[in-house]
Amino acid sequence: MTKVALVTGASSGIGESIAAHLVESGWTVYAVARRVERMAALEARGVIPFAMDVTDDASMVAGIDRIITEQGQIDALVNNAGYGSYGPVEHVPIDEARRQFEVNVFGLARLTQLVTPHMRTRRRGRIVNISSIGGKIYEPLGAWYHATKFAVEGLSDSLRIELAPFGIEVVIVEPGPIISEWNTIARESMVERSVGTAYEHLARRMAVMFERVDTPRMSSGPEAVAEKVLKALESANPAARYPAGKGARAIVTARKILPDRAMDLLIHQAFKG
């Protein structure tokens, strides 16, 4: 029987690549995002796209109901929807901070709530949460984004234990630097919210560094994450977490080894100009 997967945030970048990799591997794939028109290429490859807003409960409920009605099952949920909006904690509006949590954490959690009863009834299913190395390390001007990814890590670890007795496996994928729209959004928001403040000089330095990293020499393509997601879904015994892309494993390992003061110094030196 063909396995059925739901991939969120599939209109570009990592989500688009995940959906493409899964359908090519024989999965029935539902790909969702707010902008359906951007998923025409996926539809041409056999993916089933439709609109879903992970900040709107009715949209999520309707989406899960549709898949169950059409397929009778959901074997995998890939929670990929998310974004990184940067800026000084002092100046990022609290409404924007809340929105990042709504998209990056609460949307993920609500979809998990909605698929869990169906997976539990069949006593099988996998939930793959796209976190980030940003769920292990930290940067100035990225506090709200990192807070959401630290939350995803903790939520996923708890869920892994909570859902295991019902045959539901929870896996975390932690991308490193990936060439995508994420980098552009992060650096533009960082500068925009810092202009005319005490943080402007730091923001402009960081934006230059972010732009330098956003190249094939220093970052991986989104397919690096898609390959790890496919591995997480098709391995008989998946790992709890998979770093993905250039430098991801090294960065995660360094964070395990280095004490906080040493990590602080490394990050300070990286952005010193």
> Helix crossing, 181-192 with 200-213: angle to 10°?
170
Give the strand order in the sheet containing 168-175: 48-51, 28-33, 4-8, 76-79, 125-130, 168-175, 241-244
Catalytic residue (choose from 30, 145, 199, 242): 145
Residue 109, phi then psi, degrees to nearest 5: -65, -40
Helices (H), the chain: 13-24, 40-44, 57-71, 94-101, 107-122, 143-163, 181-192, 200-213, 223-234, 248-257, 260-270
Q: Is 31 helix (H, G, I), strand (E, B) or coil?
A: strand
Residue type, 137: I
What residues contact residue 224 under an 8 Å CB cut-off, 6+ apart?
A: 175, 178, 244, 245, 246
Active site residue 242: no
Phi and psi (nearest 5°) for 33? -170, 170
**Residues acting as catalytic residues:** 145
